[in-house]
Amino acid sequence: MEQFEYCTASRSPTVEEYLHLRSIAGLSAFSQDAARLGLNGTVYSVVVTHQGVAVGMGRLIGDGGCFFQVVDIAVHPDHQGRGLGKIIMEAIMAYVSRELPVSAYVSLIADVPANKLYEKFGFKETAPRSLGMAYRVTSAGR
């Protein structure tokens, strides 16, 4: 398939698109409620469609001034290897360059081998100065 068969839009995915793309791309699962809340916190997002169906996405989240994170870079496996991840990152980084304050800190957690893609956009490993860490809520604890 040629690249012109794809359409890129600066919009948030729907909850259904979001959950489907995360699942099919092998990313961790979230509930519909969590997805709805999370998508409301999107600073910028891009969705790639093929024949009207979302096949790729990426989001930028953050506090609006100081800290931002690139998340949810996901491409449907049937459409991988066609440069869609690069197209998504180009759109996100164009927004970063155009809209974010000069002092903004933009980070991401990269799965290997996707780190090679992110390096092309100027992202660098922070280790050993700092390490990415995560905490996953596993119960409501209420």
pLDDT tens-place string over residues 24-56: 999 999 999 999 999 999 999 999 999 999 999
> pLDDT at position 23, please?
98
CATH label of the domain that carries residue 112: 3.40.630.30
Residue 22 located in a structural domain? yes
Q: Is 131 inside a domain boundary?
A: no
Predicted local confidence at residue 12, as pLDDT: 98
Output the six-digit token pair for 1. Answer: 């398939």
What is the per-residue pLDDT for 3? 52
Q: Which regions of the chain are under pLDDT 70?
A: 1-4, 140-142
Q: What is the pLDDT of residue 4?
A: 66
Q: Which residues contact 130 (CB under 8 A, 6 or more apart)?
A: none
Share in percent of the chain as helix, strand, coil (round to 5): 30, 25, 40
Per DSSP, helices labelled H in 72-133 are: 84-99, 115-119
Structural domain contains residue 128: no
Q: What confidence score (pLDDT) does residue 133 get? A: 87
Quote the pLDDT of residue 140: 65
User: How many other CB atoms sit within 10 Å of the CB of residue 52?
Assistant: 6
Nearest CA among 20, 15, 66 for reference residue 43? 66
pLDDT, residue 20, reads 98
Q: What is the pLDDT of residue 122?
A: 95
Based on the structure, what is the number of domains in the chain?
1
CA triple 91-97-101, angle to 5 deg: 135
pLDDT value of residue 77: 97
15: helix, strand or coil: helix
Structural domain containing residue 102: 3-119
